[in-house]
């Protein structure tokens, strides 16, 4: 369990419930965490047409989202070229609709998927039945921050990774410029779906505590535009697409000097 300290702020769920949730900092790990009740129904906060990652995307936003997604598929494949070549088996954990996995399969890579909300793709695997299943690469694209009871569940996930295998983690960065600019309106707080909130140091310390060694980190620059656009909508800005683009661009420019991009992908190796 993560422990509360005296630092807390309240953030609103702008997507489903309009409820406010407290975010605390764990004094030991410096990870921020969203306080939810033990009886909290996680599922109802995902099964909403307003929640973009698990809904059908339509209109201008849907077009931009899907186009950006395709660009990111190419970027992520190039970024992980070396690791993919070294990995005979890959698991996309929390794969959503499985589109990235399908893209990699078309490029000749055998890949398995797992997602508790989307378990019907041709390459999905039931991890509860396949108890001995292990892979050489485990990918978690914006998944880590969603996992309930992280300290209990993450070690079980890590058991799926072979020794010397690669763990690929993408998370938002609470130290980025757009987080500081939008404050409690920052869309990547995304309470209560995002249960944990990392910065560079707290993520590296967390992974190190499980014997994982840091390999490299690269920015996901398109995320700042999308997050800034949503944040502008939450603020009820008159032209959220335009103002969100400006803030997203500024966030990326400043991150060239600070390395605090809106979100990044990290590669670790299991020792």
pLDDT for the residue numbered 193: 96
Domain membership of residue 243 (yes or no) is no
Confidence (pLDDT) at 144: 97
121 CB contacts (<8 Å, ≥6 apart)? Answer: 95, 97, 98, 101, 102, 113
Q: Return the higher-pLDDT residue of 41 and 231.
A: 231
Residue 2 has pLDDT above 80, yes or no: no
Task: Examine the pLDDT at 7 and tell me if it is beyond 60.
Answer: yes
In a domain, 127, yes or no: yes
Percent of the chain beyond pLDDT 90? 71
pLDDT at 132: 87
Question: Between 1 and 27, where is the model more confident?
Answer: 27
Which residue reads 């906060």 in tokens? 45
pLDDT of the residue at 53: 59
Write down the pLDDT at residue 73: 94
Band (143; pLDDT cuts 50, 70, 90): very high
Q: Which range marks the domain in which residue 148 is found?
A: 48-222+260-270
The total number of structural domains in the chain stands at: 1
**Model pLDDT for residues 109-128, shown as the tens digit of each residue:** 889 999 887 766 668 888 87
Helix (H, G, I), strand (E, B) or coil at 224: helix
Mean of the pLDDT values across residues 180-193? Answer: 97
Closest CA relative to residue 23, chosen from 40, 41, 6? 6
Q: Is residue 10 part of a domain?
A: no
Per-residue pLDDT tens for 148-183?
Answer: 999 999 999 999 999 999 999 999 999 999 999 999
Mean pLDDT over each residue of the chain, to the nearest integer: 91
CATH code of the domain containing 66: 3.40.50.150
Does a structural domain hold residue 246?
no
Which residue reads 């390999």 in tokens? 215
In tens, the pLDDT along 212-229 reads 999 999 999 999 999 999
Query: Does residue 107 sit within a domain?
Result: yes
- C-alpha to C-alpha distance for 76 and 253, rounded to whole angstroms: 21
pLDDT of residue 91: 95
């Amino acid at each position: 369990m993560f422990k509360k300290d005296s630092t807390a702020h309240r953030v609103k769920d702008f997507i489903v419930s309009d409820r406010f949730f407290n975010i605390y900092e764990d004094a030991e790990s410096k990870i921020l965490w969203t306080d939810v009740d033990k009886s909290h129904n996680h599922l109802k906060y995902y099964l909403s047409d307003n929640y973009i990652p698990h809904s059908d995307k339509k209109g201008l936003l849907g077009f931009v989202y899907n186009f950006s997604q395709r660009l990111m598929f190419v970027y992520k494949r190039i970024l992980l070229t070396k690791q993919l070549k070294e990995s005979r088996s890959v698991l996309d954990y929390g794969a959503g609709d499985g589109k990235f996995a399908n893209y990699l399969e078309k490029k000749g890579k055998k890949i398995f998927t797992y997602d508790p909300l989307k378990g019907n793709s041709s390459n999905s695997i039931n991890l509860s039945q396949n108890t001995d299943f292990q892979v050489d690469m485990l990918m978690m694209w914006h998944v880590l921050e969603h996992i309930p009871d992280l300290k209990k569940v993450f070690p079980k996930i890590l058991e799926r990774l072979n020794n010397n295998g690669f763990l690929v983690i993408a998370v938002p960065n609470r130290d980025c410029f757009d987080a500081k600019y939008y404050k409690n309106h920052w869309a990547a707080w995304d309470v209560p779906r995002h249960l944990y909130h990392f910065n560079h140091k707290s993520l590296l310390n967390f992974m190190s505590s499980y014997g994982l060694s840091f390999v490299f980190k690269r920015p996901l620059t398109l995320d700042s535009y999308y997050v800034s656009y949503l944040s502008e909508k939450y603020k009820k800005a008159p032209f959220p697409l335009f103002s969100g683009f400006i803030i997203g661009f500024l966030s990326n420019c400043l991150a060239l000097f600070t390395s605090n991009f809106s979100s990044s992908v990290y590669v670790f190796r299991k020792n």
